[in-house]
Structure 1
């Protein structure tokens, strides 16, 4: 199917489902679109019992979309830049210590904890999966998804210092999580090759620090260009060029595009740049343009996630493993956050029950599904795709619907 046709169908469905959500359900866009798309997909399956022509067309449509490439190589850079652009830079600077610890140490600890526990749990239910593949699953499921988190937190009314920690962590741990996943993937793809840890450390450092360095350069160049002119049309185009050109550069030099886009977005969006490089008109147009991009890509992404259900191999043991994985991942996330919170709570003022709120508010989304889709058959792709899908659905719908009342209940004395 042509790219134009795919994009057209996704935008039409996003518009229709978005309208239904705003008019009737009034849920956060990520949750509403996910639920509506799942209901739509189930309805197609039911109709297929009498006439399967619509089901076959929908399966063909979903199969024609390279979800991994669309999200990781195209959409993610735009979404992360948009998210970082509207993040409070000053609060992020104050909370930089715990945020960096959550996004690095937290992701690594969670990856290994999930991998170890899932290895033994899968053995107990009769699924003999090699440890390296369980570790690979730990890497793809550990990063929280800023795309899912941002929209829901806007409505939750969380204290700013708590919101900054959750949003900041989710923006940065995406890039780190993808690098960890790719590193373990390279090891799993060549199980008989000698593992040289210095090479792994060099690759990790190049991706992470190289991506951040590229983002700093892109952000500074964009700032200087915007400061030298006063034309809102061209300045909006410059931000688009930063994202698209920066992503291409990152891929060519094997640097982390997500980290580059987060860093560039934070620089362009911080108050100093806004006050010195943007007129009020430019600031309004830049913000509104990227808000629209954020909403449009969000709607398309979660429609795709809901429709992906049609290509899953829904075996009994796979579903059981997915249901068991939900509490395991929450437990591992709670443990992985404990040490950084304990360490930094002596220096910074933390909201009570921060660990519990961040555990429940750390939603999984499209990035985990995209990484699961990149697994090979030898890596038990079908099993881990079903597990990932169940975790994401429970995360976005279950946690997403309850995170607002939980935050309000646990922080009501501090708001």
Structure 2
């Protein structure tokens, strides 16, 4: 199917569903768009009993889109750069050590805890699934999604220092999570006997350290270019070129593009860099451009997530496992945050109930679905895709709608 036609349909649906949300539902856009798209898709499924034309069109569009490639290889770089560009760098600097532990040790701990928990649950329910595949699920569901988190936290009234921890963690842990997933995926594909410890550390080190180094270089080059001229049109284009060019370079060198874009965005968005490289009008145009691009891509992404339900294999047992997985994932996240919070809570004046709020506010989103779509049939793709979708929908709709109420409940303590 023609790419322009697909893009037109997605943007048209985003506009219509976005209008309906703003006019009637009045929910955060990410949540409203997903709910309306899911209702629309269910309506199309019901209508298909009388006329399958709409269903066939929707299926044709979804089958023409490689969701994993579109999100991880293309959209994610823009979204992460935009998110990092508007993140408070000074607050992030103060909270850097807990954020580092949340996005590394936290992801690894959650990966193994979820993997172990799901392995035993699946055994009890008579699913013959190897532990390594349960570990893969743990890796894809553990990173919180910055795309979902950023939009919702703006309306939740989360205290600034806690918001920095959640946003900072989500910006970095998706890059780390993708690398952890790819590492376990490689082991599952080639066999543990054919994978050495050196191979694991080489892949992890190359992707993570190389990605951050590339992002630092991109940020510095972008800063020097912006500083040398004063023309807001060209300066906006320079930031766009940095993201697009940097993503291509990262993929060619097998480095983490998400981590590169987060690093570059934090450097370019830093107040000190802004003050010395951008005029007031340039700063305004750069911010507005990336804010608008962020909103557009977010809208399209959550419409896509809602439409992806057509790929699910609807089996009652799969959905049951998905529902059981929800509390497992939440408990494992709570436990994975315990050590970093215990270490730093006195030094950095953590707000009360930080662990609880970060657990409930750590939303899963498109990244988890994209990684689940990358599983092969022998890795029980259909089963884990349904489980992932159930967890993601619950996360965005239920957790997303109630995180603000949870924060307000402990407002006086905060």
Task: State TM-score, norm by structure 2.
Answer: 0.99
Q: Which runs of 5+ in 1 are unaligned?
A: none
Are residues 1:234 and 2:231 paired? no
Paired residues, number: 414
Q: Which runs of 5+ in 2 are unaligned?
A: none
Alpha-carbon distance in structure 1 between the residues aligned to 2:100 and 2:75: 24
* Residue 411 of structure 1, CA deviation: 2.8
Q: Which residue of 2 aligns with 1:41?
A: 41
Alpha-carbon distance in structure 2 between the residues aligned to 1:86 and 1:13: 27
Q: Which residue of 2 aligns with 1:270?
A: 270
Q: Which residue of 1 aligns with 2:216?
A: 216
Q: Which residue of 2 aligns with 1:344?
A: 344
* Residue 231 of structure 1, CA deviation: 0.3
* Residue 410 of structure 1, CA deviation: 1.5
List per-residue Cα deviations over 1:270-308 (Å, max 9, x = no partner).
Answer: 100111100000000000000000000000000000001
Equivalence map 1:1-400=2 (5 Å): 1-191=1-191, 193-400=193-400
Alpha-carbon distance in structure 2 between the residues aligned to 1:194 and 1:283: 51
Provide the secondary structure at the position in 2 that maps to 1:338. helix
Alpha-carbon distance in structure 2 between the residues aligned to 1:49 and 1:3: 28
Q: Is the 8 A contact 1:357 1:406 kept in 2?
A: yes
Q: Is the 8 A contact 1:323 1:391 kept in 2?
A: yes
Q: Is the 8 A contact 1:352 1:411 kept in 2?
A: no
List per-residue Cα deviations over 1:89-123 (Å, max 9, x = no partner).
Answer: 00000000000000000000000000001000011
* Residue 193 of structure 1, CA deviation: 4.2
* Residue 86 of structure 1, CA deviation: 0.2
* Residue 192 of structure 1, CA deviation: 6.1
List per-residue Cα deviations over 1:59-96 (Å, max 9, x = no partner).
Answer: 11111111001000000000000000000000000000
Alpha-carbon distance in structure 2 between the residues aligned to 1:208 and 1:412: 39
* Residue 413 of structure 1, CA deviation: 3.4
Provide the secondary structure at the position in 2 that maps to 1:350. coil
Q: Is the 8 A contact 2:319 2:386 kept in 1?
A: yes
Alpha-carbon distance in structure 1 between the residues aligned to 2:219 and 2:208: 17
* Residue 356 of structure 1, CA deviation: 0.2
Alpha-carbon distance in structure 2 between the residues aligned to 1:158 and 1:86: 16
Alpha-carbon distance in structure 2 between the residues aligned to 1:325 and 1:90: 37
Q: Is the 8 A contact 1:25 1:32 kept in 2?
A: yes
List per-residue Cα deviations over 1:296-330 (Å, max 9, x = no partner).
Answer: 00000000000011110011111011000000000
Provide the secondary structure at the position in 1 that maps to 2:194. coil
List per-residue Cα deviations over 1:204-230 (Å, max 9, x = no partner).
Answer: 011101100000000000001000100
- Does the C-alpha gap of structure 1 residues 218 and 192 become closer, same or farther in structure 2, counting only changes over 3 Å? closer
Provide the secondary structure at the position in 2 that maps to 1:411. coil
* Residue 195 of structure 1, CA deviation: 2.4
Q: Is the 8 A contact 1:251 1:257 kept in 2?
A: yes
Alpha-carbon distance in structure 2 between the residues aligned to 1:350 and 1:226: 37
Task: State TM-score, norm by structure 1.
Answer: 0.99
* Residue 346 of structure 1, CA deviation: 2.8
Provide the secondary structure at the position in 1 that maps to 2:255. coil
* Residue 203 of structure 1, CA deviation: 1.2
Alpha-carbon distance in structure 1 between the residues aligned to 2:227 and 2:53: 56
Divergent runs of 4+, >3 A: none
List per-residue Cα deviations over 1:142-163 (Å, max 9, x = no partner).
Answer: 0000000000000111111000
* Residue 48 of structure 1, CA deviation: 1.2
